[in-house]
């Protein structure tokens, strides 16, 4: 029989309740720390930390104007309607180019709906493309491009399980910096920020913590996106999965292109300008210049070799998933396609149909051919000879020396290009690689004009005359005409 009085029982119950309340308060303590943008960081009790890890809840109502209609909706529990109202305002401010106010509204939206990926993409695009275009100085434009990238990085930090945002961070880093009209400046600033007072000649660590080339940083972002899709099995809704998974490997190809087009570099200068390179070369002996060009040629070969091996051995051997959940491998041999079909419980024709489709969608054979072509030692030697020949022609007016180097380079290039002749009589390099054809035509123009400028007759036969110079293909002849007119505008004649 319980001998406790009613008062004693009540006191005991109260003590038990208080004892239980302490761990509940500790476990359920809300997030109490925020970053400089007002975004909650991992803090508080265990439940708050779990909510942060799994992105299951919000710790803020958003930095909404307390006098606005949106705040009234938030307080009434209509968070979605409030965000919709702010989206209308954002679209209106964008149209009126009131970018400062737009930025404030977008900050409110992401605090209300931080897991709505469109707002991160919208504002990143807006800062990177629209706001930057309003600036005249290229350094100011780069600042806003960088702000757009930083905003996207914030989005990936708040949405660590959204592969589309990591993909977008890679696309901004690779495409915007690498293909813009100002790409020479942007790629240099990415590794050596123009704000020397703050970054002391190094990169902004928020966007480039390791000081790498923009295409290699883009690859890192694409790899993060692929990890979410491949390892964590999170579905992305940007594009067909086989194409989505190709981007880290495409970035290596773009990096190899960039190393090749950047040319020889000056020690201590990130992506030196043409004038800086020429000034540096003027101080070197012929032997030192030759060694510098050979070093650059080796760097190109290494970059193309890496891109080639990753493309065929990593991406080419990856088990990809078609839209109907059929698995296939791009580099499969016929017997391997049959094994895949047996495993999938479908026909060889069905697997082969998907494989053929994605070979075209990803431009797999063309990119493989490009890497294979550029990684060859003979191609690297030809690139070196053509580049040095052009320098001697344009900078030193050494037409005889330029002619010898250009001829050697054209002969080597002809030997490699002929390896890509197809059964139908076409040539894979001439059909698929317009940039290569353009560079060869520039070299051919300088080679033939070296005779004219020396008062000599152009020989009846020379390397690549039949294959490219006199090729009747309208596309090749159009490029030839354009480059000839450009040469005449520069040098007369």
Nearest to 412 by CA among 393, 389, 431: 389
Q: What is the DSSP letter of 419?
A: G
Q: Does 12 score more than 50 pLDDT?
A: yes
Nearest to 479 by CA among 440, 423, 449: 440
Lowest model confidence (mean pLDDT) among 252-256, 294-298, 470-474: 294-298
Confidence of residue 366 (pLDDT cuts 50, 70, 90): very high
Q: ∠ CA 291-295-300 to the nearest 5 degrees?
A: 145
What is the C-alpha to C-alpha distance for residues 424 and 426, in angstroms, rounded to an integer?
Answer: 6
Report CA 71 to chain centroid distance, whole Å: 39
pLDDT in tens, 418-452: 999 999 999 999 999 999 999 999 999 999 999 98
**Residue 2: its pLDDT value, please?**
57
Instruction: Scan for tokens 């970053």, then name that residue.
Output: 35
Helix pair 79-95, 99-112: axis angle to 10 deg: 160
Confidence of residue 153 (pLDDT cuts 50, 70, 90): very high
**Residue 34: its pLDDT value, please?**
54
**Residue 221: its pLDDT value, please?**
97
Q: What is the mean pLDDT of residues 149-154?
A: 93
Report CA 474 to chain centroid distance, whole Å: 33
Report CA 431 to chain centroid distance, whole Å: 26
Confidence of residue 240 (pLDDT cuts 50, 70, 90): very high
Nearest to 390 by CA among 461, 256, 490, 303: 490
pLDDT in tens, 64-105: 444 444 444 444 456 667 777 888 888 888 778 787 787 788
**Residue 311: its pLDDT value, please?**
98
pLDDT mean across residues, the chain: 86
Nearest to 255 by CA among 304, 198, 296: 304
pLDDT in tens, 111-133: 777 888 888 998 899 888 888 88
Q: What is the DSSP letter of 127?
A: I
Lowest model confidence (mean pLDDT) among 27-36, 76-85, 149-158: 27-36
Lowest model confidence (mean pLDDT) among 6-20, 68-82, 255-269, 305-319: 68-82
Which is more confidently placed, 400 or 76?
A: 400
Cα atoms in the Cβ-side hemisphere of radius 13 Å centred on 21? 6
Confidence of residue 38 (pLDDT cuts 50, 70, 90): very low
Q: Does 292 score more than 60 pLDDT?
A: yes
Q: Does 244 score more than 80 pLDDT?
A: yes
Q: What is the mean pLDDT of residues 322-336?
A: 93
**Residue 64: its pLDDT value, please?**
43
Q: Which two tokens stand for residue 318?
A: 């990856």
pTM for the structure as a whole: 0.83
**Residue 158: its pLDDT value, please?**
86
Q: Does 288 score more than 80 pLDDT?
A: yes
What is the C-alpha to C-alpha distance for residues 141 and 129, in angstroms, rounded to an integer?
Answer: 9
Q: Does 391 score more than 90 pLDDT?
A: no
Lowest model confidence (mean pLDDT) among 2-6, 216-220, 225-229: 2-6
Q: Does 150 score more than 60 pLDDT?
A: yes
């Amino acid at each position: 029989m319980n001998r406790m009085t009613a008062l004693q029982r009540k006191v005991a119950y109260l003590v038990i309740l208080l004892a239980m309340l302490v761990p509940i308060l500790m476990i359920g303590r809300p997030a109490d720390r925020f970053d400089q943008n007002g975004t909650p960081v991992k803090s508080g009790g265990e439940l708050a930390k779990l909510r942060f890890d799994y992105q299951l809840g919000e710790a803020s109502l958003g930095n909404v104007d307390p006098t606005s209609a949106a705040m009234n909706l938030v307080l009434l529990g209509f968070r979605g309607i409030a965000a919709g109202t702010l989206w209308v305002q954002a679209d209106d401010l964008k149209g009126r180019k009131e970018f400062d106010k737009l930025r404030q509204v977008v900050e409110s939206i992401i605090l209300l709906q931080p897991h709505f990926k469109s707002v991160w993409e919208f504002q990143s695009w807006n800062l990177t493309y629209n706001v930057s275009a309003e600036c005249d100085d290229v350094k100011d434009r780069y600042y806003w491009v960088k702000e757009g990238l930083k905003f996207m990085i914030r989005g990936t930090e708040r949405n660590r399980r959204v592969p589309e945002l990591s993909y977008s961070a890679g696309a901004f880093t690779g495409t915007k910096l690498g293909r813009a009209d100002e790409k020479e400046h942007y790629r240099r600033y990415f590794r050596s920020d123009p704000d020397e007072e703050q970054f002391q000649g190094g990169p902004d660590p928020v966007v480039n913590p390791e000081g790498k080339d923009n295409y290699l940083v883009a690859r890192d972002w694409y790899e993060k996106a692929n990890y979410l899709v491949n390892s964590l099995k999170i579905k992305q809704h940007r594009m067909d999965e086989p194409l989505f998974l190709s981007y880290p490997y495409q970035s290596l190809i773009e990096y190899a292109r960039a190393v090749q087009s950047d040319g020889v570099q000056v020690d201590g200068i990130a992506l030196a300008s043409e004038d800086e390179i020429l000034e540096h070369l003027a101080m070197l002996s012929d032997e030192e210049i030759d060694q510098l060009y050979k070093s650059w040629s080796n760097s190109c070969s290494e970059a193309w070799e890496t891109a080639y091996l990753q493309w065929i051995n990593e991406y080419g051997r990856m088990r990809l998933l078609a839209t109907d959940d059929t698995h296939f491998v791009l580099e499969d041999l016929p017997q391997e396609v049959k094994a895949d079909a047996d495993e999938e419980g479908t026909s060889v024709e069905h697997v082969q149909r998907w494989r053929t489709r994605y070979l075209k969608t990803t431009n797999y054979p063309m990119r493989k051919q490009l890497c294979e072509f550029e990684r060859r030692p003979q191609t690297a030697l030809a690139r070196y000879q053509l580049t040095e020949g052009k320098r001697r022609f344009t900078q030193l007016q050494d037409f005889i020396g330029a002619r010898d180097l250009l001829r050697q380079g054209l002969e080597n290039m002809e030997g490699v290009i002929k390896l890509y002749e197809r059964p139908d009589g076409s040539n894979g390099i001439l059909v698929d690689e317009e940039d290569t054809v353009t560079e060869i035509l520039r070299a051919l123009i300088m080679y033939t004009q070296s005779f004219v400028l020396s008062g000599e007759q152009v020989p009846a036969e020379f390397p690549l005359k039949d294959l490219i110079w006199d090729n009747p293909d309208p596309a090749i002849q159009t490029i030839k005409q354009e480059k000839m007119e450009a040469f005449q505008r520069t040098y007369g004649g």
